[in-house]
A and B are shown apart, each in its own frame.
Chain A
């Protein structure tokens, strides 16, 4: 089944403790992206990648890192999480030729 898989689905952590949210897609998509969703603010792009080793900032990149060492994986790293990063995070991927992001099921992160 074609899908974007995120892990974990739920995560509660403490301020300052580094964490990684994994994202993997099995559709051989070139584009991958991370979004956060907050009430009243909608979805905002954190980072995106157009291909392996090519990443760029979205609208809200502060406090986040990403890497794209393999085409299928695009992990989101929070080096020192803070409470304002409590949010619902979505990973998404898209083919370069057939546009339209496919989204993962989301990761609900709570930073206390």
Chain B
């Protein structure tokens, strides 16, 4: 069965430090992979997506993610975190644009 695992429920990072959020997936074929961010009281915003091609994808707000087929991972990274990055982050996997399966999310706190 398809599934998405985000091993870290909560992460705290100092402002200016680098960030890596982990995502592992289980999917039969080459999946479509997404990262979304949800600020408190807001809807979900698409950060980036991977379908094929270059395994390192760039997104909005300075985020990037790397697809590693051998590890079934799609980790999200940012070189320098800003206080405004504090939010909940969701990894999702799917086939086409219909049934997206979401991980349970990682809450990012940013300390000063």
Which residues on A are within 8 Å of B, measured CB to CB? 4, 30-31, 33, 35, 40-45, 48, 50, 56, 58, 90, 92, 94-96, 99-106
Contacts and interface: CB of A to CB of B under 8 A. Distances in A.
Contacts of B102: 35, 42-44
Contacts of A94: 97
Contacts of B94: 99
B96 A90 contact: no
Given A40-B104, A99-B51, A100-B34, A45 B46 contact: no
Q: Is the interface of A mostly helix, strand, loop or mixed?
A: strand
Interface in B22-71: 32, 34, 36, 42-46, 49, 51
A92 B43 CA distance: 10
Interface of B: 32, 34, 36, 42-46, 49, 51, 90, 94, 96-105
A106 B43 contact: yes
A41 B105 CA distance: 9
Given A42-B90, A42-B102, A43-B102, A104 B43 contact: yes
Q: Is the interface of B mostly helix, strand, loop or mixed?
A: strand
B58 to A, nearest CB: 14
Contacts of B32: 99
Nearest to B32: A99
Contact of A42 (B96, B99, B104): B104
Given A102-B46, A103-B44, A33 B100 contact: yes
A103 B59 CA distance: 17
A43 B90 contact: yes
Contact of B43 (A31, A40, A99, A103): A103
